[in-house]
């Protein structure tokens, strides 16, 4: 038996060594593949930047190139000098996005924690109903929601775009519930011995531990709300209340008849619409990884 083990061990060692060598050999190929794919996916973004830096003559002649040949940086200031209130569009986007993020983070944390820790009859059945709402297309509820907000007098205000976020959504509740479920229940029990209730446990103990998942929910909500076009188009009528997503569309629709839109200014507006989402994701991507790593390690006892 010892002989068999001694003969098997070198073979296993050789096979493991071969796997390590193959992994090291595949690394350059993997990096090269990722670089090529990334370069291809970046072509539309580079084309947008090239058009944004083009002159009006290039726009009228429609002679755009993928690689920028002109560098008219003044286009980024000209877009704020148009007849449209671009500064107001930006401010409106900030107001709507900030309200939506605050609502989703606050409500998702509380509801997810309740589903994970509180004991109540029918809790699991109610959670299944909440998850089932993810299968309902938003187009089905679009008209009933509009009629409801119209009866409340919320049309042409920010409220239809902000208030529903304070009731969370099924996906974010699922994320928080799964994260909290993997945390040891002994934490809650020890806090209860010290005299804390459910809200005290959530505010003093759970909330700091939920930081990665709540930041991830904030990132998801911000990226979805900042670029939202359909919601503001339905509920907002006044130009002074419209966000940047509608403002960019207005740049293309306010040109004269039979005249090409100012595509350089349109692309500048598109960059202003896209850049914040890229920066937020880049700065917060480590929290997306910590959301899974922290929850997974916390579930290991």
pLDDT tens, 246-270?
888 888 775 555 567 888 888 999 9
Tell me what the mean pLDDT of segment 210-227 comes to: 91
Question: How does pLDDT run across 268-301, given as a tens digit for each residue?
Answer: 999 999 888 888 888 887 777 776 655 544 443 3
Confidence category of residue 83, pLDDT binned at 50, 70, 90:
confident
Letter string b/e over residues 130-150, b meaning 16 or more CB atoms within 10 A of that residue's CB: beeeeeeeeeeeeeebeeebe
Within 10 A of 93 (CB to CB), how many other CB atoms are there?
24
Closest CA to 201 of 211, 191, 214: 191
Mean pLDDT of the chain: 84
- Whole-number Cα distances in Å, 44 to 11, 40, 275: 51, 8, 14
pTM greater than 0.95: no
pLDDT tens column, 100-130: 999 999 999 999 999 998 888 889 999 999 9
Is the pLDDT assigned to residue 9 strictly greater than 80? no
Question: What average pLDDT does this structure show over 190-209?
Answer: 87
pLDDT at residue 294, as a whole number: 54
CA dist., res. 233 & res. 238, Å (int): 10
> Is pLDDT at 11 greater than 60 in this prediction?
no
- pLDDT average, residue stretch 134-146: 91
């Amino acid at each position: 038996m010892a002989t068999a083990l001694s003969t098997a061990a070198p073979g296993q060692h050789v096979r493991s060594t071969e796997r390590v060598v193959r992994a090291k050999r595949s690394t350059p190929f993997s990096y090269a593949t990722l670089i090529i794919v990334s370069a291809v996916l970046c072509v539309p973004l580079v084309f947008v930047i090239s058009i944004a830096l083009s002159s009006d003559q290039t726009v009228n002649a429609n002679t755009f190139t993928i690689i920028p040949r002109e560098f008219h940086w003044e286009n980024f200031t000209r877009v704020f000098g148009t007849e449209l209130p671009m500064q107001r569009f930006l401010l409106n986007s900030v107001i709507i996005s900030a309200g939506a993020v605050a609502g989703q983070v606050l409500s998702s944390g509380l509801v997810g924690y309740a589903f994970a820790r509180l004991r109540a009859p029918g809790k699991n059945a109610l959670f299944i109903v909440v998850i089932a709402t993810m299968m309902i297309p938003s187009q089905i509820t679009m008209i009933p929601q509009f009629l409801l907000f119209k009866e409340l007098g919320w049309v042409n205000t920010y409220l239809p775009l902000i208030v529903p976020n304070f009731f969370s959504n099924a996906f974010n509740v699922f994320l928080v519930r799964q994260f909290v479920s993997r945390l040891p229940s002994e934490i809650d029990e020890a806090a209860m011995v010290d005299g804390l209730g459910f809200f005290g446990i959530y505010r003093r103990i759970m909330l700091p531990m939920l930081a990665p998942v709540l930041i991830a929910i904030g990132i998801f909500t911000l990226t979805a709300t900042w670029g939202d076009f359909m919601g503001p188009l339905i509920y907002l009528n006044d130009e002074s209340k419209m966000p940047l997503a509608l403002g960019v569309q207005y740049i293309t629709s306010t040109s004269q008849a039979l005249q090409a839109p100012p595509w350089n200014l349109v692309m500048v507006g598109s960059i202003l619409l896209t850049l914040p989402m890229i920066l937020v994701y880049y700065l917060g991507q480590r929290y997306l990884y910590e959301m899974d790593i922290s929850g997974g390690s916390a579930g290991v006892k």
